[in-house]
Each structure stands twice: as C-alpha cells, then as structure tokens.
Amino acid sequence: MDGEALQEPDSNGTRNGPVKTSVARGAALLVAAFLANTLQSAFARAVGSAMDALMFTWLTFVLALLLLIPLLVMRGGRDLPTRVFPLHLLRGGMGMAGFLLFMSAAKLVNLVNANVLLNTTPMFIPLLAWLVLRQRIPPSLWKALAVGFAGMVIVVQPNASLLDKPGDLLGLAAGFVCAIEFLAVKALGRSESALTQLVYFLAIGGLVSSLMMVGQFHAISPDQFLWVLASALCLLSFQFLLIRAYSYADPSAIGAFQYSSVVFAGLIGWIWFGQIPNAGVIVGTVLICVGGVLSLVGQNPVAAPQP
C-alpha cells in the first residue's frame, strides 16, 4: 500500500514535503530496529557481572552521543534548536529509564523473558491513553488486553519469591516506561527530525545516567568496552530505524512486527547462552504476542499529547 500521507520534518522542525507511505518498507525497518534492540540485551548479558546495568547504560549513552557528535558538527549544529524541550526531557528520561530496566532484566532472566515483557508496551499504551488522555477503550480492545495480560501473568508467575528474583518485574516495568516514551515520541514526530530527537534523547539520558553514576565509576576490560561500543552502535541503529519505520507507516499498521524481537531473543539465547524457555514461558509469550497484535490492530492510532 503506497501513498503520500506522511510528511517528514526537516532538521529545523519544518515539513520538507510528503514522504511516500509503505507498509512493507516500514515493517522491514521495524524488524531491523528490534533486531538491534535485542542484540543490546545480549551484549548486556555478555559483559558479565563485572559491570552492572547502570554502568552499561551510562557508557552506552555516552559512547552513542560521542559517535553522533561528528555528524552534528558536519551539519553545523542546525539540528539542535527546538521549541518542545519539555517533550524531549520526558522522552529522554523515560527512554533512559526503560533502557536501564531492560538491561537489568536481561542480566537477571533469560533473553526471551526480558524481551517479551518489554513488548508489553503496546498493551500499556491504550491504558495510558485511557487514564491520562481520557480516551475510550472499546470492548474488543479490553479483550485483547486481557489476553496479553494473562500471558504476562504466566511469564512472570507472581509468587512470594518474585521480589527475591525481580528480573521479570524489571522487564515488565521497562514495557510500561517505554509506553510513556512512545507517546512522547509520537508527539515529537510532529515537529522534530529524527536527528534532533536522537541528540536530545542521548544527551538527556547520558546526563541523567552520569548523575546516577557519581561515586560508582570503575575500570573495565577491553573486551567489556567492545561489548558496550557494540551496544552504542545498536542504540543508534535502533533509534534511527524506529523513527524511520514510523515515518513510512503508522504504528497501528506495522507495530505487530516488533514481536520479531521475541524470535531473535529465543535464537540468540539458545545459540549464545544455551537458554531454553520452559513451556509456561512459551505459552505466556504466545498470549502476550497475540494480545499485543490484537491491541495494535483493534485500536485507532493513539492520539499523542500536543507539544
């Protein structure tokens, strides 16, 4: 399905003209984005216990920002002006928090659990729209949410020992926080270019994580540095690919393809770390994916708050 319904903002926040919509191209970019996102969780696990999730997050954001600076200089800094800084602040803070929670979960549970719980985001979005934006949720969407949350309960398996092994809770919290970030991204997409969004996202996330790192800095090995550098490259790839994907097609049309990350997580976890999910996790994963897909298909695109 091709058309000219979407427009992409230029680096100054103005519209450059129509961008052809393409569900196929948007879906392909989204799958590539979530492959990069899944690899980040594998890199976080690969660095081992010698580096905690906070330091991994801080280094990832700082290195990604350093990699981006030459491009900003080449463009003469014209991507820096913005009129919607509060939205950037919300997106940057929530994005950094979601990343930290996701990396923490990846270190504590298998990659399938971490990724599938992160992908509860599409189910949290309509709930946030209902609670914050007062948007009505149709009965069919409530049913989809019920299916997804039933799967979440099966994966998390809440019991008395859950607080002693909080990895699943951290993954679920990452999904919720990223739903807030998604609403901010939707609003920013109306006026801000991909590069403008990315530089503020990395700068704010890097600043917040730097403040959290005070007094906790320590040396790392060359191998660990390479894992974090790979994570930084994946972070840049994920953000650019995600923004580009949604410039070609609406999230309601292609959002279901984000569940490809569950397949990637299963393959990477099995081949790299020897992780094999149990039957309960598989059943819960299927229900979460079904519920998420139905929630994307059954809802109109969520209206983002006005900048």
Summarize pLDDT for 3-62 with one digit per residue, the tens.
Answer: 333 444 444 444 444 456 777 888 899 899 999 999 999 999 999 888 999 999 999 999
- Cα 48 from chain centroid? 22
Q: From CA 204, how far away is CA 150, in angstroms rounded?
A: 35
215's CB contacts (< 8 A; 6+ apart) are none
Q: Give the CB-side neighbour count of residue 20, counting CA atoms within 13 A.
A: 6
The total number of residues written for the chain in this structure: 307
Say how far apart CA 45 and CA 91 lie, in whole Å.
25
Mean of the per-residue pLDDT values for the chain?
83
**What is residue 8's DSSP assignment?**
E
Rounded CA gap, 120 and 49, in Å? Answer: 27
Which contiguous run of DSSP H or E holds residue 4? strand 2-9
pLDDT tens string 55-105: 999 999 999 999 999 999 999 989 999 999 999 999 999 999 999 999 999
Q: Of 71-85, 118-132, 266-280, 290-304, which one has max mean pLDDT?
A: 71-85
- Residue 2 confidence (pLDDT) above 50: no
Q: Strand 2-9 to strand 15-22: parallel, antiparallel, or no bridges (unpaired)?
A: antiparallel
C-alpha to C-alpha distance for 143 and 152, rounded to whole angstroms: 14
pLDDT of residue 261: 87
The C-alpha R_g of the chain, in whole angstroms, comes to: 19
